Amino acid sequence: MSVSLSRYLVEQQRERGAITPELRLLLEVVARACKGISHSVNKGALGGVLGSAGSENVQGEVQKKLDLIANEVLIEANEWGGHLAAMASEEMETIHLIPNRYPQGEYLLLFDPLDGSSNIDVNVSIGTIFSVLKKPEGGAGVSEADFLQPGTQQVAAGYCVYGPQTTFVLTVGDGVSMFTLDREQGSFVLTQENVRIPKDTKEFAINMSNMRHWDSPVKRYIDECLMGSEGPRGKDFNMRWIASMVADVHRILTRGGVFLYPWDKREPGKPGKLRLMYEANPMSWLVEQAGGAATNGRERILNIQPKTLHERVSVVLGSKNEVDLVTKYHLGS
């Protein structure tokens, strides 16, 4: 008998006490929004959704049409349910308050509406990443400061990958589960529970074109992987780089591996490329919940106290023994 996401969530609430009814509604709504985004992604050129929107976001990146469509779908789906206090997105400079005409809830939702934008027009896997926090107790209204909580405070996190299959991946702190979209039924069906990342791997993911800009611990780690069975690692490594974090993390949750988007010398003032609150935190929690690890090269990502909504971070995540080795190289230098 197949288990739908709805049933899974009801059981998480009723039998395991892992989520509240409001959080269950929130997750249902996010999954429904992802279904809508999946539909637009699938239409591609037929839906007129490809190409640039002709605008830039707060990080100075050119916005694609689908970045904005996905952002709108998530906002519209989540505004009226009464479960949210506010939302924040890669594509919006400041937080999005719930309009006065709707009731307000106690949760805060953060998202990267469309991850892997450079892959949209070339028909390669892309995704949506989300993180859920609780609004701190006390204080009327909601402000950006309410969002600035370390990743350890997340109450739910996940992503949806729009690839050959559309897969919704979720943690509420009780392991990682995967749900595949059944287009005939129109619902997500549980296809893997208790996802585990092997501790060791022979596969790394990094954008090698940045090699000359890397810091020495990263260079050392990758050099040693490249030396293969004749080098200090004593085994041959394979490499993958999809340039959609969702797709790279999905591979790592499925068969292991290590993913690095480290700080580099191109923009030394920035801690990295990826955003802490709606890319690194949700992915780090998923990876930890599956037995892997996630650091910025020096400390656990989930322990970082965010200072701003769009702050960036250096990311090393995946199979535990590899992440530990990269972290050791950083701390030793």
DSSP state of 174: S
What DSSP string runs through 70-98?
HHHHHHHHHHSSS-EEEEEETT-SS-EEP
Give the max Cα distance, the chain: 66
314 is a contact residue toward ligand AHG (CB under 6 A): no
Among 5, 176, 245, 276, binds ligand AHG (CB under 6 A): 245
264 is a contact residue toward ligand AHG (CB under 6 A): no
If the CB atoms of residues 41 and 245 are measured against ligand AHG, the closer one turns out to be: 245
Among 28, 115, 146, 288, binds Mn ion (CB under 5 A): 115
Min. distance of Cβ 115 from ligand AHG in angstroms?
Answer: 4
248 is a contact residue toward Mn ion (CB under 5 A): no
If the CB atoms of residues 28 and 115 are measured against Mn ion, the closer one turns out to be: 115
Residue 238 to residues 25, 201, 328: CA-CA distances in angstroms? 41, 9, 22
If the CB atoms of residues 119 and 154 are measured against ligand AHG, the closer one turns out to be: 119
Q: Tell me the one-letter amino acid at 187.
A: S
Min. distance of Cβ 112 from Mn ion in angstroms?
Answer: 4
Q: How far apart are CA 155 and CA 144, in angstroms?
A: 18
x/- string (CB under 6 A) for ligand AHG, residues 91-110?
A: --------------------
Q: How far apart are CA 233 and CA 229, in angstroms?
A: 7
10 Å Cβ neighbour count for 143? 13
Chain residues in the site for Mn ion (CB under 5 A) = 90, 112, 114-115
Chain residues in the site for ligand AHG (CB under 6 A) = 61, 90, 112, 115-118, 207, 243-245, 261, 273
